[in-house]
Amino acid sequence: MSTAPRRNRRAPSSTSSRTAREKPPQGVVTEPEPRPDKIPFDIDDVLARVRESVRDFADAAMFALSARGHDSLFEQLVACILSIRTLDEVSLPAALALLERASTPEALARMSPGDIDALIRPVTFHEAKAHQLHAIAVRTRDEFGGTLPCDAQVLQSFKGVGPKCAHLALGIACGHEAISVDIHVHRVTNRWGYVKARSPEATMAALETQLPRRYWVELNRLLVPFGKHVCTGSRPKCSTCPVLDSCRQVGVTNPR
């Protein structure tokens, strides 16, 4: 007679049609290691508690811009490029300065890369980004009649635009169900034990398999402030974390 404990973790309500006997794709954790000191991991419950805990923190830059009316796909893409390797506290003012001067492809295309650079100078790699933004504006004006199509392949055909930016811009501006995995989303979901992946790209693939679609856009919105203020890169604040009883704390060795 089997003495294996009965697993009572609720299966994620993924749209995947995988059966229990099929091997899950790499990086997917269907049943996190049970721990006697932890309750079963329930993504609905965990995200509800995270949502409550980040209520008073500032929104990530692109969501903040959208709330201020800069919600077109072009504006969101511009903001995401500015945010690459740059803190939100730096990229958000730069995006506002640029978009208040030129919020459409036509207006940005009329500026020179030098003029764009002067407005975004505090941002990392500002000179290269100025040229990228100008090229995107020109191509959007000339090739797409001034309106970017809600198409991930088109966005990723621009220099400097990868899945993280394309997915987040499409999620916010076009309502696409798309997961954007930055360093915070990658770190937190792996520490939870919800996925097991070495890179943000592998984490995105794993999340696409098991995260319920209703959370695909919101995940980034929640985990960026959560990763900045609670589940920080070094010495996460586990002792006061709202999901400590569920989190497997994978790889965490020196928590606060």
For ligand SF4, the closer of residues 92 and 195 by Cβ is 195
Q: Which of 129, 164, 196, 237 is catalytic?
A: 164
CA-nearest of 66, 72, 75 to 102 is 75
53 binds ligand SF4 (CB under 6 A): no
For ligand SF4, the closer of residues 107 and 252 by Cβ is 252
Q: Which stretch binds ligand SF4 (CB under 6 A): 72-80, 203-211, 212-220, 232-240?
A: 232-240
For ligand SF4, the closer of residues 81 and 247 by Cβ is 247
Q: Which residues contact 124 (CB under 8 A, 6 or more apart)?
A: 84, 85, 86, 90
230 binds ligand SF4 (CB under 6 A): yes
How far is it, in rounded angstroms, from Cα 39 to Cα 245?
6
252 binds ligand SF4 (CB under 6 A): yes
Strand, coil or helix: what is 130? helix
CA-nearest of 170, 134, 131 to 152 is 170
The only residue of 7, 10, 35, 237 in contact with ligand SF4, by rule CB under 6 A: 237
238 binds ligand SF4 (CB under 6 A): yes
How far is it, in rounded angstroms, from Cα 239 to Cα 230?
10
For ligand SF4, the closer of residues 6 and 55 by Cβ is 55
Q: Which stretch binds ligand SF4 (CB under 6 A): 37-45, 79-87, 197-205, 241-249?
A: 241-249
Q: Which two tokens stand for residue 229?
A: 């203020």
185 binds ligand SF4 (CB under 6 A): no
According to DSSP, residue 139 is labeled: H
38 is catalytic: no
Residues in the chain: 256
191 binds ligand SF4 (CB under 6 A): yes
Q: Which stretch binds ligand SF4 (CB under 6 A): 24-32, 68-76, 214-222, 237-245?
A: 237-245
DSSP annotation string for 56-123: TSPPPHHHHHHHTT--SHHHHHHHHHHHTTS-HHHHHHHHHHHHHH--SHHHHHHS-HHHHHHHSTTS
241 binds ligand SF4 (CB under 6 A): yes
How far is it, in rounded angstroms, from Cα 82 to Cα 122?
10
Residue 195 main-chain phi, psi, to 5 deg: -130, 165
120 binds ligand SF4 (CB under 6 A): no
The only residue of 25, 93, 212, 255 in contact with ligand SF4, by rule CB under 6 A: 255
**Contact residues for ligand SF4, defined by CB under 6 A:** 188, 191-192, 230-231, 236-238, 241, 243-244, 247, 249, 252, 255
Active-site residues: which are they? 164
